[in-house]
Amino acid sequence: MAVRAVRGAVQLERDEPRHMHEQVSALLTAILERNSLTPDDLISVWFTATPDLHSDFPAVAARKLGITDVPLICAQELDIAGAMPRVVRILAHVETDLAKSDVAHVYLGAAAALRKDIAQ
C-alpha cells in the first residue's frame, strides 16, 4: 500500500455555509469515488479557500459526511490578483494501491480551468 496525494477543487457560486458544505461534499465524494477510496483510506486532508470565502470552514463538510477520525486542516490561499474567486481546494493524503499516474485528480465545474493538465 502506497501513500498518494489527490488534488481537487471547486468554485462556489456564493459564500454561504450551506452552499459551501454541498459543494465541498460533492468534491470530496467525487475524489473518493473516482479513486475507489473509502474514508478509511484517508490519512489527512488539507482544505484551502480563497480569501473571499469566510462563511465557514470547508472541513465542516467532511465532518458532515461522517469523516470524523481523519486529521483535517483549513488554510487560506494566497491573495493573488486575477486568481479565480470563491475556490475551495483539497489535498488529500491517502493509502492506495494506485500508481501515481492512475490517481484521478478532480476539478469540478469552472475549477477545471485551474489544472487542465490533470483535471479528470
- Residue 82's CB is within 10 A of a number of other CB atoms, namely 5
- In the predicted model, is pLDDT for residue 119 greater than 60? no
Q: What is the CATH number of domain 2-115?
A: 3.30.1330.40
Q: Which residues are annotated as a binding site?
A: 7, 89, 107
Distances (CA, A) of 113 to 9, 73, 117: 10, 25, 9
At 31 the three-state DSSP class reads: helix
pLDDT single digits (tens) 62-111: 999 999 999 999 999 999 999 999 999 999 999 999 999 999 999 998 89
pLDDT for position 58: 98
Distance of CA 53 to the CA centre of its chain: 15
Binding residues for prephenate: 7, 89, 107
Mean pLDDT value across the chain: 95
CA 4 to CA 13: how far, in whole Å?
30
pLDDT (tens digit per residue) in 39-75 = 999 999 999 999 999 999 999 999 999 999 999 999 9
Average pLDDT over residues 14-43: 98
